[in-house]
Amino acid sequence: MVNRSIALDTVFHALADPTRRAVISRLLMGSAPVKQLAEPFEMGLPAFMKHLSVLETSGLIRTEKRGRVRTCRIDAERLAAAEDWLSEQRALWQGRTDRLAAFVESRNPPEERP
Amino acid sequence: MVNRSIALDTVFHALADPTRRAVISRLLMGSAPVKQLAEPFEMGLPAFMKHLSVLETSGLIRTEKRGRVRTCRIDAERLAAAEDWLSEQRALWQGRTDRLAAFVESRNPPEERP
DNA sequence: TCTACAGTTCGCCACATGGTGAACCGATCC
DNA sequence: GGATCGGTTCACCATGTGGCGAACTGTAGA
């Protein structure tokens, strides 16, 4: 799926920043308005909003504006997608190294060690 | 740990590109020289080498030059680190939503549905 | 030795990213 | 109604990213 690949692009890119990962961690404890989320960080609102929009277009969070306050909450589905990709790759790796170990054990050639 | 955070930065950034993810997937089936890795992609060697160096500085792969050919292989440790972070976050989320479900069940307020 | 081949380095370019400050908009509160 | 507060938009800037082609290096093979 091309879509899935693009989704992984945006999700991993969103996660590749400590500020955004901190926002995720914070939102895991419950939804919060933008101002409150931005408080711990030493940057202006505009910069922080860019981080939020990266998170939102990646699908990791959803936001809703009611009155003048925008509330953010997490959407764990994309988090799971990223985790799935990683665990899939690691499973392949695990299987391959297991087979490799078996192979080495079965032949065990005295390899040169320079 | 600050180091761990930087490691996550570079690992997630490395994974946020379809070319680099494809290289990872390819390397899961066994190590390979640069030329062979670059073959499937429609870009020049210099561009491809940049991808490789991103992967290497992230610690996701290791390379070794013997003679004139540089061989690349995977290092699954960082892959596991990324997976760990994600599963940790998801576990927190899971725990929180479980508690939330219990809370909602115990109170069950008839929320407005617009 | 000469040639071809695998990487590497270099300079360049277009565009994305991450930040700033200032001005602005719309909802709330006194 | 006017001040304030939460967001938003705008113009701008420095830096990083991802690509190119051309020139270079060093090893292998004929």
Domains of chain B: which residue ranges?
2-107
Give CA–CA dist A25/A54, Å, rounded.
16
Average pLDDT, whole number, for chain B?
Answer: 85
Distance CA A100, CA A75 (A): 39
CATH of B2-107, one of 3.40.50.1980, 3.30.70.360, 1.20.58.1610, 1.10.10.10: 1.10.10.10
Paired with B3 in beta bridges are none
Interchain CB contact of A82 with B (< 8 Å): yes
Give pLDDT, residue A70: 97
Q: How far does the CA of B49 sit from the C1' of D20, in Å?
A: 13
Q: What are the phi and psi torsion angles at B94 (to 5°)?
A: -60, -50
- Residue B60 token pair: 């996701």
What digits encode the pLDDT tens for the residues B95-111? 876 666 555 554 444 43
Of all residues in chain B, what percent carry a pLDDT higher than 90?
A: 66
Nearest nt by C1' to B37 Cα = C6
Strand D atom within 7 Å of B67 CB: yes
For residue B109, give how far its alpha carbon lies from the nearest alpha carbon of chain A (Å). 18
Residue A68 φ then ψ, to 5°: -105, 5
By Cβ distance, the residue of B9, B79, B82 closest to A18 is: B9
Task: Please give the C-alpha separations between residue B37 and each of A98, B40, B77, B100, in angstroms, as whole numbers.
Answer: 23, 7, 21, 48
Helix (H), strand (E) at residue A101: helix A76-107
A2 CA, D10 C1': Å apart? 34
pLDDT for A94 equals 82
Q: How far apart are CA B78 and CA B80, in angstroms?
A: 5
Q: Is A20 exposed, middle or buried (0-12, 13-18, 19+ CB in 10 A)?
A: buried
Which segments of chain A have a pLDDT < 70? 1-3, 98-114
Write the CATH number of the domain with boundaries A2-106: 1.10.10.10
